Amino acid sequence: MLLGVNIDHVATLRNARGTIYPSPVQAALLAETAGADLITMHLREDRRHIKDADVAAVRAAIQTRLNLEMALTDEMLAHALSVQPHDVCIVPEKRQEITTEGGLDVIAHFEKVALFTQQLTQNHIRVSLFIDPDKTQIQAAKDAGASVIELHTGAYADASHEKERQMELEKIQQATQWAASLGLIIHAGHGLNIHNVADIAKIDAIEELNIGHALIAQSIFIGLPESIKQMKNVIFQARCGRMGIL
């Protein structure tokens, strides 16, 4: 199973201060060194985290694959065709949402999805559609010409009790079976973390997971002690120098 590391929230942290760090490029390279199979980034229409220049810089720097998540708009299509990521994942986007809520409605936007899929595919960019685990959406994705679907695991991840979690898990398992029977490549993602990823990872036909927020969040706790040690060390060395100890 492949792991796509979504680095959007490295940019969220950078943008909070308007600094040039932490750098998404540095994060992407570190992710690759740590075993990421691909790098995922979402260029949102409001550019709230990843900016245009980040996509180009990451595309040029990485050695694995770039999976660009984007909305179904002409601006994004033009951007993807110029940056040439290896994969594009078409996602729904609403300005006011905190994160991508729900899957793309392929049925409602069928003609546009089919057209974008054709144009991207002709330009050697593999297209994935981010959809809910729903049979009719999966069939529409197939009919629109996509070779890949990414199943939205948000409802599973957000389930507030065990019965609901099991129900959402079954939906994903059944959707996966159905998609596999249509010959689609199946990815999954959204809201996955170390506590809920195992049941999804057990579904054989899912080939790739895309995970972002939880990975960046967990890295604070794994990395904070080392970061504090580094800072204390620099302060200590400076003090020792002032006092003529070093």
Is 6 near ligand PXP (CB under 6 A)? yes
Is 31 near ligand PXP (CB under 6 A)? no
Contact pick of 23, 137, 196, 210 for ligand PXP (by CB under 6 A): 210
Spatial separation of the C-alpha atoms in residues 204 and 189, rounded to whole Å? 15
Contact pick of 31, 36, 42, 70 for ligand PXP (by CB under 6 A): 42
The type of residue at 55 is V
Is 168 near ligand PXP (CB under 6 A)? no
Residue with tokens 């009919």: 143
Smallest distance from ligand PXP to CB 211, Å: 4
Contact pick of 36, 76, 83, 89 for ligand PXP (by CB under 6 A): 89
Closest CA to 189 of 154, 146, 148: 154
Smallest distance from ligand PXP to CB 191, Å: 5
Mask for 120-159, x = binds ligand PXP (CB under 6 A): ----------x-------------------x---------
Burial 100-126 (b: 16+ CB within 10 A, else e): bebbbbbbebeebbbebbeebeeeebb
Spatial separation of the C-alpha atoms in residues 151 and 190, rounded to whole Å? 9
Note the Cα 137 to chain centre separation in Å. 20
**124 annotated active-site:** no
**75 annotated active-site:** no
Residue with tokens 């986007």: 93
| Cβ nearer to ligand PXP, comparing 6 with 117 | 6
CA atoms within 13 A on the CB side of 66: 25
Is 48 near ligand PXP (CB under 6 A)? no
| Cβ nearer to ligand PXP, comparing 59 with 212 | 212
Strand pairing partners for 68?
A: 41, 88
Tell me the C-alpha to C-alpha distance, in Å, between residue 175 and each of 23, 73, 158, 208. Answer: 37, 27, 18, 15
| Cβ nearer to ligand PXP, comparing 44 with 59 | 44
Residues binding ligand PXP (CB under 6 A): 6, 8, 42, 69, 89, 91, 99-100, 130, 150, 189-192, 210-214
Catalytic positions, please? 42, 69, 190
